[in-house]
Structure 1
Amino acid sequence: MATQASNTHALSSVTFHDEHMHNKIPILTIHHDKLEHSQLDKQGRADTQHAEDLYETELPWWRATIRARILSSVKRESQILARMQECIRHPWLDLYFLYSSTLGTHTFFMIGLPLTFFFGYEELGRGLVIVLASGVYVASFLKDLICSPRPLVPPVTRLTIGTHHLEYGFPSTHSTNSVSMALFIFGYVRRAYIESATISSSIYYTSCVILVIYAVTVVFGRLYTGMHSFIDCAVGVFLGVIIWGGYVIMKEAFGNWLATAHWIVPLTMIPICLLLVHYHPHPVDDCPCFEDAIAFVSVLLGIALSRWHSVYSGVDERFLSSVMPGPQGAAWTLEDTVSWWTLACAKVTIGILVIFVWRILAKSLLHIVLPPLFRLLASSFDLPHRRFYTPATDYQHMPVESSLRPIPSFIDLPGVLEVSAIRERSALGRTSEVKRRGAKSNNDSPSANGENYSGSELENSNGSYQRKEVKHYDADVLTKVVVYAGMAILAAEGLPVTFALLGWGVKPC
């Protein structure tokens, strides 16, 4: 979003270091002298082009009314957050809450998703996907529905990793994910302690303390870093509890339905997935929430289809229960341990590589096939069109690099775990830090220091914003659905069956 902020801006780079630390760690902050405009974009910045009346014009009255109420709360809470930051901010706390925020991202949890299936923890992996996908979709839905900005900058100082600041603020997805995951894991710990008595009291209570610290750290960290207001986090926590509660109530019925409903499962799940994608709200600004929602709904679709197919074809009984080769019981020699870990590493390496190859090939093929197919269908039907997405009738070829990276991780991991920053030369020749919003330079080439960016905005040291527009294509939407669903099917069924056929087994013991 092209924006022009107040004329009185000052950008500071704070570099924390300790006499015992050899490497300096940059934590990037934005400071503005004063806020001259009442108009706010989704990041809580002053915005003369996207004024309040634009939101009132673009949004239906009921959405605009809800947004106005939340916005008034965000404005009040921004002053409170600013005073809180002045009182408690410390370099080490900045580091702690900045980097611990990655523990509340859906990308963090998705790292372990394939591994749960590679090693026979199917129920755990399926529950993880259901809870996480539900939280991400609901939070993304509400963000694009309400279009509420993040806390105001100024007076708040914002610390962020990755591109989360490009999304709207209400509600906090981090809070939703961390609370739902803490409760989800607590359910397994409690079952292991009370029902099966496989863990001791000390392990149980230690686990509970760790889960509480984890949830509190992530939720409070969103306030400390200036990424969310109190109302954002409160609603996020509420959603996390509701989603976990819904999963507990429905998991048995849903699992039985996947295992016994036969062809009704794919005939129901596929249309539901496509409807969830189609009816995701259209925001006023281009927001990355929609792409997260597509990815997780598609992963949930793939997990459900793989469970249905494994039961329907009898694969679960013949292959998914096989045990990895090696001695059973407690009498393991060093050679046995080395052999087992070598095989486990081989499973992880080959499994992740296969998922990468699938994503590259499927993406490339769909980008070739879908645009001409859409153009053919458009000659006879009015195809659904999403705001900010270019229809196939308006382009002939898709660029090589669009919404899906050619070398990916499970949910776009490479680009989300870096401190959001670039360096540019000041007038005095010194290197200064500016906050990066995933921008390329104006000539669409990598920046001078060799870093390459993809995205839409770059905030300069003088407080102005440059836009390098990122184009979205309608073919990308269906491409993501197919690619991510396929990745989930490979992780949940295809690869475990392959490991069993190779004699590597699935379950660790």
Structure 2
Amino acid sequence: MSKRTTVNGGNQDMDKDLTEEKYKLLHKGGGQDDFIHAPIDKLGVAGRWLRHKLLDGILVGTPVLQTIQKHRTPKRTLLMKMISFLGTEDFYTVLFLLIIWCLDGRLGRLFGVLMGIGFYAAGFFKSLLCLPRPPFNKVKPEEKAYDWALPSHHSLLGTILPWYIWIYINVHQELSSVQLTCLFLVISSWSFSVMFSRLYLGVHSPADIVSGGFVGVLVLSLWLQVDDIVDNFISQQKVENPLQCVLLFAALLYLHPKCDPGNPSFTDNCCLAGVVTGLIIGRSQRSRLLGFPSLLETLPLDTPLSNFIFLTSMRLIVGAIFVFVARTILKFIVTTVIEIVFKLLGLQFYSSSTYRDAGHTRFKHYNENFRLPPIYIKQAENEDDELSSSDSTNSICSTSSYEKTTEMNPALCWDVVVPSKCIVYAVLTYLAVEVVPQVFILIGL
């Protein structure tokens, strides 16, 4: 009999003497010996060792979440869900439009680019590591989670975006000490409450939050060294060929670790890649489609409060209507055209959004079936120990009930959502930064 050892904090057993061939077959299968494989496993021992250590860090924080869980009440849960919304893509999109339309055009541009970088960094590492959320049998989650856990999107973005606003205003605006103090309290409360809300809701461990904050600090530190260079580059019409920008973001998406079907990390990054692409092209080209000049970079500081509130409200209402209508039309047209093209080319395709909404994504919370591949995997010593990989042709993603009941295997199909979101969000952002401001001027806003 082979020796056995416990891993993952002693929660399950693994065969220490598992051969490389058996491992390759087991992680492709769908039975009880299935391993949760991740792109970082390709690094061998180092990659698998890192995943084991990070998983231990995730599980060790469970008692903290259990303690927080004891103090949940319906009102507190509702409050935490509202606070958690302040760290979502939807909220940051509204904030981005508010800044770029009503407050400071330059800050809005830089905020949008940084938001894209933050989403890409978080999604990249999540898909690279494929680590679970808190144990489901010990911590009851208050929200559904479709992507992997570490690092936390909310934590990473809650570090870079609020604090970049704080730093930018400190550098570019002259505020009194009272104003700075009030702004600091708002920024710090926003940042830290968003992080805590994820712990309260049981969808992230302390390790997820800490790692997200750590990566966020690194991203923000690097961004502060190049933000002026980036803005000068895109504002002085140096992006001569928009195709170069498109190819750059296409390359970044190509380098993104492959996700399991229905995982929103990659499609979210497609959205943000489209946003940044549209923002850069819109600002660098400045085609003046309606013949009007751009808005002032900033709203004058001496603008009366009543005028400011009126202008801000009207611009948001008009802009939101314009963007919503454009999004509805664009989404229908682009998705229809892409599906027709795929059919003409004879390509199989599916919608990851539909797949996810139907409940066919892999369960992302830790449970007894979550098994990492062992750190050390020996090579087979003789042919009797080898298992032919030809006996299994499906990938790890093809073990869900969805695939067992249909002929379509999402792991082998094109996701129609990917090109659709890239195109739709690129065009929408272009309209938001180039056309909508000219609409404001046209109607006297």
The answer to whether residue 111 in structure 2 is matched with residue 118 in structure 1 is: no
Q: What is the DSSP-based 3-state SS (H/G/I as helix, E as strand, rest coil) of the residue aligned with 1:168? A: coil
Deviations, residues 190-229 of structure 1 (Å, cap 9, x unaligned): 236xxx43x3212211221222222221222222322112
How well do the aligned residues superpose, as a CA RMSD in angstroms?
4.0
The residue that corresponds to 2:332 in the other structure is: 364
Is 1:484 the counterpart of 2:425 in the alignment? Answer: yes
Answer yes or no: is 1:66 the counterpart of 2:42: no
How far apart are the structure 1 equivalents of 2:83 and 2:251?
35
Alignment match, 1:293: 269
Structure 1 residues 345 and 207, CA, compared in 2 at 3 Å: closer, same or farther?
closer
Deviation at 1:270, TM superposition (A): 0.8
Q: 1:280 offset after TM fit, Å?
A: 1.5
Give the deviation of 1:285 after TM superposition. 5.7
Query: What is the CA–CA distance in structure 1 between the aligned matches of 2:339 and 2:277, rounded to whole Å?
Result: 23
Q: How does 1:44-59 map to 2 (within 5 A)?
A: 49=30, 53-56=34-37, 59=41
Query: Does structure 1 residue 504 correspond to structure 2 residue 410?
Result: no
Indicate if the aligned counterparts of 1:55 and 1:64 stay in contact, CA closer than 8 A: no
Percent identity, please.
Answer: 23
Pair 1:249 & 2:233 matched: no
Q: Where does the alignment leave 5 or more consecutive residues of structure 1 unmatched? A: 1-34, 40-47, 379-391, 406-436, 441-453, 460-465
Match runs of 1:449-488 below 5 Å: 473-488=414-429
Question: Is 1:367–1:475's contact at 8 Å kept on the other side of the alignment?
Answer: yes
Hey, what's the Cα distance between the residues in 1 that align with 2:170 and 2:72?
A: 36
| CA–CA separation in structure 2 for the residues paired with 1:104 and 1:297 | 18
Residue from 211, 223, 231 that aligns with 1:235: 211
Unaligned runs of 5+ in 2: 1-9, 15-28, 365-399
Note the 1:396-411 alignment, pairs <5 A.
none
Matched, 1:209 2:150: no
Aligned equivalents of 1:50, 1:504: Cα separation in 2: 65
The CA distance in 2 between the partners of 1:140 and 1:154, in whole Å, is 26
| 2:348 partner letter | D
Aligned position for 1:320? 294
User: Match of 1:256, SS?
Assistant: helix
1:183 deviates by 1.0
CA-CA distance at 1:497 after TM superposition: 1.8
Q: 1:265 to 1:187 in 2, by over 3 A?
A: farther
- Cα distance in structure 2, aligned partners of 1:99 and 1:175: 16
Per the alignment, do residues 263 and 458 of structure 1 end up closer, same or farther by CA in structure 2, a change over 3 Å counting? Answer: closer
Contact kept, 8 Å, 1:223 with 1:229, in 2: the verdict is yes
- Mapped partners of 2:243, 2:73: distance in 1: 55
1:73-112 correspondence to structure 2 within 5 Å? 73-86=57-70, 88-112=71-95
Shift of residue 83 of structure 1? Answer: 4.2
Judged with a 3 Å threshold, the aligned counterparts in structure 2 of structure 1 residues 81 and 211 are, in CA distance, closer, same or farther, namely same
C-alpha distance in structure 2 between counterparts of 1:474 and 1:330, whole Å: 48
> What TM-score, normalized by structure 1, do the two folds share?
0.64
CA distance in 1, matches of 2:250, 2:120: 13
Q: Could you say which residue in structure 1 is the equivalent of 2:5?
A: none
Per-residue deviation, residues 239-285 of structure 1 (Å, max 9, x unmatched)? 22122222211111111211345344524311111112222211356
Q: Which has the higher contact order (CA 8 A, sep 6+)?
A: 2
Q: Which amino acid aligns with 1:493?
A: E
The aligned amino acid for 1:499 is: F
TM (normalized to structure 2)?
Answer: 0.72
Q: 2:335 touches 2:420 (CA, 8 Å); kept in 1?
A: yes
- How far the C-alpha of 1:174 sits from its partner, in A, is 0.5
Partner of 1:131 in structure 2?
Answer: 114
The residue type paired with residue 154 of structure 1 is: N
Q: Distance in 2 between matches of 1:57 and 1:242?
A: 24
- 1:149 and 2:132 equivalent? yes
Query: What amino acid is aligned across from residue 504 of structure 1 in structure 2?
Result: G
Aligned-pair CA distance for 1:110: 0.9
**Aligned ranges 1:319-358 → 2 under 5 Å:** 319-321=293-295, 337=306, 345-358=313-326
Q: 1:231 to 1:363 in 2, by over 3 A?
A: same
